[in-house]
Amino acid sequence: MRATIDRILGRTLVFIMSVMVINVLWQVFTRFVTGNPSSFTDELARYLMIWIGVLGAAYVSGRNLHVAIDILPARSTKRRQKVLKAIVYSLIILFVLFAFVIGGSRLVYISYVLGQQSPALQLPLAVVYMIIPISGLLIMYYKTSDLKKLLS
């Protein structure tokens, strides 16, 4: 299942990046060729960048490619390395639960209740912010899976 999620997430990131490139090219074209810049492209590029950053964090977390300071584990025994990894995975799960899932869900709910919309696209901001709890759930899945694998 993890490989399937990795594949879907990777393809989603490629798709979002492709849309962002086309969007920015359209902005450049309308600004310099037609002299009448498109009004929505700046906002769309901003939201796509947010999605790439947050979903990219989940993808990197799942692939264990994130930046890590490994001075302490490198100088420890295998058993202590395992304990340190378990502690780190647990702390990541707790942080993501409170910051991304609970905090992000509250942000989505408040944006939805207030009916906030983006200025140019008139897109509900709750849709834009929804990526935060989704990414949090993905990170929690990955780290829980890593923790289970480590402890088995």
Going from the first residue of the chain to its last (152 residues), give the mean pLDDT of each consecutive group of 10, the final group possibly shorter: 95 98 95 90 95 96 87 88 94 98 98 96 96 98 96 90
pLDDT of residue 50: 95
55 Cβ partners below 8 Å, 6+ apart? 9, 12, 13, 16, 131, 134, 135, 138
pLDDT of residue 74: 83
pLDDT of residue 21: 97
pLDDT of residue 25: 95
pLDDT of residue 107: 97
pLDDT of residue 72: 84
pLDDT of residue 76: 87
pLDDT of residue 63: 93
Domain that holds residue 56: 1-151
Q: Residue 18 to residues 5, 15, 125: CA-CA distances in angstroms? A: 20, 5, 22
Contact present, 4 and 53 (Cβ < 8 Å):
no
Taking the CA atoms of residue 137, residue 90, residue 152 and residue 1 in that order, the dihedral angle to the nearest 10 degrees is: 10
pLDDT of residue 38: 87
Alpha-carbon distance of 136 to 139, in angstroms, equals: 5
The letter for the amino acid at 124 is P
Q: Report the number of distinct structural domains present in the chain.
A: 1
Alpha-carbon distance of 25 to 81, in angstroms, equals: 47
2 Cβ partners below 8 Å, 6+ apart? 62, 142, 145
pLDDT of residue 105: 98
Region for 118 from its dihedrals, namely left if φ exceeds 0, alpha if ψ lies in -120 to 50, beta otherwise: beta
In 3D, which of 118, 142, 138 has the Cα closest to residue 48?
Answer: 118
Please tell me what DSSP assigns to residue 117. B
Look up residue 35 and give its two tokens: 């002299």
